[in-house]
Amino acid sequence: MIRVGTNQLLYNEVRNFAGLPFQNVCFRKVLDLYKVPAYLQYKLFNKVNYKLIFRFNDLGLHRKIDLFHFFNGITPVKKPWVVTFETKVPRPDVNFLQGYAWLAGKYCKKIIAYSERAYNAELQLLKQHPCYCDDMLPKMTVLRPSQPLIANGLEHKDYSGFIHFLFAGHAFYRKGGYELVKAFAQCYHKGLPVRLTMVSKLEVEGYCDRNISPDIEAETHRLIAGNPSVTWYRQLSNKQVLQLLLEAHVGILPSFGETYGYFLLEAMACGCAVVATAVSPLTEIVSDQCGYLLNVPTAMKDVEYIDIDNPARYKEISARLTERIFQSIEAICNDTKLLQAKSLLALQHIREKYSPFDRAAALEKIYHEALVA
């Protein structure tokens, strides 16, 4: 049995490694001495110290751990470790040269990007520091998140009445929620047979949505309240969201920027076709075979997010995205047979590309090789 330590067991850790169906691996949350000052700083001054939370050090206390696996974190410990990252590693708040020295060192055994976009971003960053290439490039690989099937078919879905769309995500404006409710206002006025369920706190996050004004927030609430075809939940458990997805026909994420897109995986695993903006890495999940891509002019294949650098630009892009969303909804309503075909292909895509057992086997091999090396 390989004993793997990790400094936290939150959603990303559980989703990407700690919760997988391993045969010969067990995980243990270990004490991180960096967390103590980070916790005190947050409690006393309400400030998150990112320089500390993305680093780990146990001063060699965990002798019964064979190796460590972190999400976005790095460490100077003299024990084998691997890291899974979502954007770049080390994170911008960590001393860059110190971080690269740890990643290039002999104790870092694998650097795992969880998307092709993250891998390519790290590669471009690494090219700016060629002295680390020989040590880091052989360690780099891509291992996408896993997703178990939740539905086996579409027998539980009724396509004879309204088409039910579902949106979920707390970073509402970054994920295109404002544009979505504007598009559904158009749908309601045109009498399209659609329903929208939204699960969100309607939060402004500050990443890709920094031009959201109080007027836009007020309009969002007005559009939701004035549209009987929209049902809004401020918060639901993941289990409740999955139940809604089992009843829905389409999962929709018209996002300005994502690090991956777990919601789309869950929607597809529930037998939903998906609608998403053509930003990376959403383009790694969604294709025209299993969904509908929204090609906003500024959203190119390898773009990480739709950059909105001023209010006027945001207004322009927002209007374009709203129109693309409406067009996709209209197309879905006009061809429900195609929608069902895409939904079946979505299930097939999850079954073939996102098996938790395949990911567990791949990680177990990485752990074995790390210990042998």
Instruction: Give every strand in the sheet of 250-253, ordered side by side.
Output: 230-233, 194-199, 163-168, 250-253, 273-277, 291-294
- Say yes or no: 101 and 220 in one domain: no
Tokens of 215: 């007027």
User: Does one domain contain both 105 and 85?
Assistant: yes
Instruction: Verify that 14 and 142 share a domain, yes or no.
Output: yes
Residue 157: inside a domain, yes or no? no
Residue 154 covered by a domain: no
Is the pTM higher than 0.85?
Answer: yes
User: Are 188 and 272 found together in one domain?
Assistant: yes
Is the same domain home to 333 and 359?
Answer: no
Q: Domain check: are 189 and 309 in the same one?
A: yes
Residue 257 in domain: yes
Of the candidates 200, 326, 316, 303, the residue with the CA atom closest to the CA atom of residue 257: 303
Rounded Cα–Cα distance for residues 281 and 60 (Å): 37
Query: Is 320 found in the same domain as 303?
Result: yes
The answer to whether residue 155 is domain-embedded is no
Give the count of domains, the chain.
2
CATH number for the domain including 223?
Answer: 3.40.50.2000
In terms of residue numbers, what domain contains 231? 163-353
Shared domain for 73 and 14, answered yes or no, is yes
Q: How far apart are CA 331 and CA 292, in angstroms?
A: 10
Residues 88 and 212 grouped into a single domain: no
Which position has the token pair 């079954």?
351
Among candidate residues 71, 112, 256, 247, the one with its CA nearest the CA of residue 176: 256
What pLDDT, on a 0 to 100 scale, did the predictor assign at position 314? 81
Residue 53 is predicted with a pLDDT of 64
Same domain, 7 and 46: yes
Q: Give the pLDDT of residue 301.
A: 42
Give the pLDDT of residue 200: 97
Mean pLDDT by 10 residues, the chain (373 residues): 94 95 95 73 69 72 89 93 94 79 96 95 92 96 96 92 96 94 98 98 75 88 97 97 97 93 97 94 94 75 55 84 97 97 98 97 97 87
Position 289 scores a pLDDT of: 94
Query: Are 68 and 56 within one domain?
Result: yes
pLDDT of amino acid 296 = 80
Residue 346 covered by a domain: yes
Q: Are 124 and 258 contained in the same domain?
A: no
